[in-house]
């Protein structure tokens, strides 16, 4: 039975040009007196963003400790470094300047400061955290939605395990979103982000059971706008409206809104499969999703051909012929055409990875948490089905 849900989205959103100048006031409002300023490689420094944020923090009398170096698919080792540094320095607030990787790393450090013991235990579901030191974000890429989600996804280099942890404790206190900060993104990252945004709604949309009409309409509108924005940005990377729409969609696509009232929380198999690809091959998350989605969709669509057909009509503008199976097949091919149009991969080879049979077996066993879980909702996937989907993506 659908139409029964909890929607919890406590993050204060401050959206628009120059909003990063408010970072200091926001940290203060949310109780921070000494922040760990956490960031990635060089993009935030190169653009002058870090300097502007430090000035904003200093203007509010907030002490700053810096830790850069977060890489995409953020690593546990830097999380450990951050926890030790933050404890030594008496940090009481984590300010993430970057995308999903930086925000997720900040959340992991927050768990590590707040709780005793090894933080990875929480990602392995061995223990439950009791809280998280507060995190705020200045977003520089529209993609993962971590700025409003309950998730943190970390890669443990020991075994190349990429694992997510979901709790409301880690939801950002605030998210500063200035769309102009995303103008400097390489096209591959912009488009990879657009795919990730779409997938967070698509995976909530494809449910085995019933769905809520209002949520379906909102999801379809979001997907159409993200596609239009990505197309605009392909030829004009500094189009403010397109950047703004993409950035707001990033948050709304993963804060729960586009899944409210459905019979289940969705079918997250493509994400769970991609996490194994990211853990083993260190690929950009959204590009990885684009590369596996077609193989997943072709494998499962007959279970909900009506829904795939509706998706084709409402989101992709395809005609309804009355033959759900044929319409569903067209919908899948049409979405894959869109991925190609925005230069995203639709196979492992296009993604640039060539897993061996042994590597596919390893990804499969890791995806099932070593035999402890199945994936999916439209179709429940065990080891055999997961391996078939990985193999299909590898052989195309």
Q: Residue 109 in contact with residue 36, Cβ under 8 Å?
A: yes
The reply on whether position 185 binds ligand NZQ by CB under 6 A is: yes
With contacts defined by CB under 5 A, name the span among 34-42, 190-198, 261-269, 367-375 that binds Zn ion. 190-198
Q: Is 99 in the site for ligand NZQ (CB under 6 A)?
A: yes
Residue with tokens 């309409």: 217
Report residue 8 as tokens.
């919890």
Closer residue to ligand NZQ (CB): 39 or 311: 39
Q: Does 364 interact with ligand NZQ (rule: CB under 6 A)? A: no
Let me know: does 74 contact 104? Beta carbons within 8 Å: yes
Using CB under 5 A, which of the segments 26-34, 160-168, 195-203, 341-349 binds Zn ion?
Answer: 195-203
Q: Which is nearer to Zn ion, 196 or 220 (CB)?
A: 196
Cβ(191)–Cβ(242) below 8 Å:
no
**Could you give the string, one character per residue 356-395, with x where binding to Zn ion holds by CB under 5 A and - elsewhere?**
----------------------------------------
Q: How far is the CB of 238 from ligand NZQ (least distance, A)?
A: 12
Q: What share of the chain is helix, strand, coil (3-state, %, to 5)?
A: 55, 10, 35
Site track for ligand NZQ across 137-176, x = CB under 6 A: ---xx-xxxx--x-xxx-----------------------
Least distance between ligand NZQ and beta carbon 373 (Å):
17
- Least distance from C-beta 386 to Zn ion, angstroms? 18
The smaller minimum CB distance to ligand NZQ, of residues 204 and 314, is found at 204
Answer positive or negative: Cα dihedral of 265, 266, 268, 269.
Answer: positive
CB of 165 to Zn ion, least distance (A): 14
Binding of residue 182 to ligand NZQ (CB under 6 A): yes
Which of 238, 106, 293, 46 minimizes the C-alpha distance to 246?
238
- Residue 14 interacts, among Zn ion, ligand NZQ, none and using kind-specific CB cut-offs from 5 to 8 Å, with none
**What six digits make up the tokens of 53?**
């944020």
User: Whose CA is closest to 54, among 20, 87, 7?
Assistant: 20
Question: Residues 24, 32, 82, 100: which binds ligand NZQ (CB under 6 A)?
Answer: 100
Binding to Zn ion by residue 104, rule CB under 5 A? no
Enter the tokens of residue 106: 């900040």
Contact segment (CB under 5 A) with Zn ion among 110-118, 160-168, 196-204, 236-244 equals 196-204
Q: Which is nearer to ligand NZQ, 144 or 223 (CB)?
A: 144
- Record the tokens describing residue 176, joined without a space: 């500063």
Number of residues that bind ligand NZQ (CB under 6 A): 35
The beta strand positions in 46-109, using DSSP E, are 63-67, 93-98
Determine how many CB atoms are found less than 10 A away from the CB of residue 368.
Answer: 17
Binding piece for ligand NZQ, criterion CB under 6 A, among 3-11, 86-94, 177-185, 220-228: 177-185
3-state SS class at 383: helix
Kindly state whether residue 19 participates in binding ligand NZQ, applying the rule CB under 6 A: no
The residues near 380 (Cβ < 8 Å, ≥ 6 apart) are 374
User: For Zn ion, which residue of 20, 196, 267, 324 counts as binding (CB under 5 A)?
Assistant: 196
**Residue whose entry in the numeric block shows the structure tokens 């404890």:** 87
Q: Min. distance of Cβ 51 from ligand NZQ in angstroms?
A: 15
- Cα torsion for 357, 361, 362, 363, to the nearest 10°? 100
Distance CA 79, CA 74 (A): 8
Rounded to 5 degrees, φ, ψ at 227 are -65, -45
Question: Applying CB under 6 A, which residues contact ligand NZQ?
Answer: 40-44, 72-73, 98-102, 104, 140-141, 143-146, 149, 151-153, 181-182, 184-185, 189, 193, 196, 254, 271, 278, 285-286
């Amino acid at each position: 039975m659908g139409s029964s849900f909890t929607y919890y989205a406590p993050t204060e959103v401050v959206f628009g040009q120059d909003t990063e100048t408010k970072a200091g006031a926001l940290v203060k409002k949310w109780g921070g007196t000494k922040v760990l300023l956490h960031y990635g490689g060089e993009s935030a420094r190169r653009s002058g963003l870090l300097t502007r944020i430090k000035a904003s923090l200093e203007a509010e009398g907030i002490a700053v400790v810096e830790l850069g170096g977060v890489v995409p698919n953020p690593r546990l080792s830097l999380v450990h470094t951050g926890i030790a540094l933050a404890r030594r320095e008496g940090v009481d607030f984590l300010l993430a300047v970057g995308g999903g990787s930086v925000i997720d790393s900040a959340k992991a450090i927050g768990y590590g400061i707040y709780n005793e013991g090894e933080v990875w235990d929480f990602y392995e579901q061995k223990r439950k955290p009791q809280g998280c030191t507060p995190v705020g974000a200045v977003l520089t890429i529209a993609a993962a939605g971590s700025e409003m989600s309950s998730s943190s996804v970390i890669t443990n280099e020991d075994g190349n395990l990429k694992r997510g942890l979901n709790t409301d404790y880690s939801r950002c206190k605030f998210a500063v979103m200035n769309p102009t900060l995303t103008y400097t993104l390489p096209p591959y990252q912009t488009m990879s982000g657009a795919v990730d945004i779409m997938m967070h709604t698509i995976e909530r949309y494809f449910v085995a059971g019933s769905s809520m009409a209002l949520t379906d309409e909102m999801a379809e509108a979001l997907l159409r706008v993200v596609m239009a924005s990505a197309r605009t940005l392909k030829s004009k990377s500094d189009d403010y409206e397109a950047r703004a729409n993409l950035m707001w969609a990033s948050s709304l696509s993963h804060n729960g809104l586009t899944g409210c009232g459905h019979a289940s929380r969705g079918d997250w198999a493509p994400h769970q499969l991609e996490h194994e690809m990211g853990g083993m091959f260190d690929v950009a998350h959204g590009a990885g999703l684009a590369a596996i989605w077609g193989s997943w969709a072709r494998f499962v669509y007959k279970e909900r051909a009506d829904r795939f057909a509706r998706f084709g009509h409402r989101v992709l503008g395809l005609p309804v012929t009355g033959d759900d199976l044929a319409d569903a097949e067209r919908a899948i091919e049409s979405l894959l055409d869109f991925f190609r149009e925005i230069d995203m991969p639709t196979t492992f080879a296009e993604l640039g990875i060539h897993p061996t049979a042994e590597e596919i077996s390893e990804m499969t066993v890791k995806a099932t948490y070593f035999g402890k879980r199945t994936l999916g909702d439209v179709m429940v996937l065990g080891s055999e089905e997961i391996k078939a989907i990985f193999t299909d993506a590898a052989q195309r």
